[in-house]
Structure 1
Amino acid sequence: MPTTQPRISYLAVPTRDEAHEGVRKLWTKAETNMGFVPNVFQAQALNGEQFLAWWNYFNLLVNKDGFLTPAERELLAVVVSGLNHCVYCVVSHTAALRTLTGNAAQADSAAINWRQADLNGRERAMCAYAEKLTLRPAEMTEADLAPLREAGLSDEQILELVQVVGMFNLTNRVSSALGFVPNGEYFSQGR
């Protein structure tokens, strides 16, 4: 599947004509809402049905109303992606966090070292949990939930936190393994 666009993945990227019909619809919606098609949408379109299944779950966890705020979910995305050194996800989700919070310093700092970011106690507890789950999942115990509960998180919020952290660990690995390149638009977004 040849492409005329700059390389955004180590694998082939389908053209609009070659892409799955559902993927083409998502691209059109993204262009309308964002002004561009995220490269991750194009790079994963090679396996259209699998991409759409991933997108539906990702969209549910990150973009729909949930138990955590949109800014909390993006903060988790930024922290996990930073810990995993995933260029695509750090760049794109730091842009989203900057846009949601209007606080570029906080978002950019969280991407590098959340401990040095201006975060409240609840956010710090969430980031500490996300860090351990990302870097040392085999060491997780029930005791790790105590700081989250002390910070006021409900069981529903904790479950969503775990699901978001899990989603970004998966997505980071796919993006990094296949060399996904972030869209240029993300670098100035929210600044």
Structure 2
Amino acid sequence: MSWISTIEYDVSQGKLRKCYQRVKDANGHIDNIMKAHSLRPQAMEGHISLYKNVLHHEGNQLPRWYLEAIGVYVSLINNCHYCVTHHFDGLKELVQDETKTQEMRQVFEENLTQAIDFGGCFEQKQAAGLKYAWQLTVKPCQVDESLVLHCKALGFDDGEILELNQVVAYFNYANRTVLGLGVELEADLWD
């Protein structure tokens, strides 16, 4: 499951049990990325709060499918198979078009070492956001105001740029949690 010990739901208690009850799905499943936090429930609380607010908050203006697509792209750049698998599945559910989502993934895979061309899968504004995501993931110290101004020129408002920034930051955090702790895919869900 991971390179560190974890506490399973059936033996959890107190704050950890409450956290697990908050993150388990309708079938009682808890993702391994959440179990990896089980030794420090406060870290799990922070992770799930960030996740829900960055990706699922009703106040977000960017489309949820686009936020999910950014997450898949960042996770591909970071070579985080766990997050790619989970969030590409989520992207497919949101887009409801297998051909389109496969085209998106192909475009992402063609833009791993440089963010150059996002083809016909994305509007110009969305492509600019993906270029921002690449830069912030691969060369964060080289992000400058010109990149943000370019996003603004193509229609992003300041709040949307913040959403973009936070989803990129969240996925870099999640990818590093998974990669740094050796979190494995849930075999029962992905076989």
The TM-score with structure 1 as length reference comes to 0.83
Counterpart in 1 of 2:55? 62
How many residue pairs align between the two structures?
A: 181
Within 5 A, what are the aligned runs for 1:90-101? 90-101=84-95
2:128–2:150 Cα contact (<8 Å) kept: yes
Name the amino acid aligned to 2:171. Answer: F
CA gap 1:82/1:74 in 2 versus in 1, 3 angstroms: same
Name the amino acid aligned to 1:177. Answer: G
* Larger CA deviation: 103-112 vs 123-132: 103-112
Structure 1 unmatched ranges of 5 or more = 1-7
* Larger CA deviation: 115-124 vs 57-66: 115-124
C-alpha separation in 2, matches of 1:111 and 1:185: 27
Within 5 A, what are the aligned runs for 1:18-37? 18-19=11-12, 21-33=14-26, 36-37=29-30
Identity fraction in percent: 24
CA gap 1:116/1:86 in 2 versus in 1, 3 angstroms: farther
C-alpha separation in 2, matches of 1:17 and 1:137: 41
Within 5 A, what are the aligned runs for 1:77-116? 77-104=71-98, 105-109=102-106, 112-113=109-110, 115=118
Within 5 A, what are the aligned runs for 1:131-142? 131-142=134-145
Structure 2 unmatched ranges of 5 or more = 112-117
**Matched residue of 1:12: which SS?**
coil
C-alpha separation in 2, matches of 1:117 and 1:12: 45
1:78–1:110 Cα contact (<8 Å) kept: no
**Matched residue of 1:36: which SS?**
coil
C-alpha separation in 1, matches of 2:108 and 2:20: 27
CA gap 1:185/1:58 in 2 versus in 1, 3 angstroms: same
C-alpha separation in 2, matches of 1:68 and 1:87: 25
Q: Which residue, out of 122, 128, 146, partners 2:125?
A: 122
Counterpart in 1 of 2:114? none
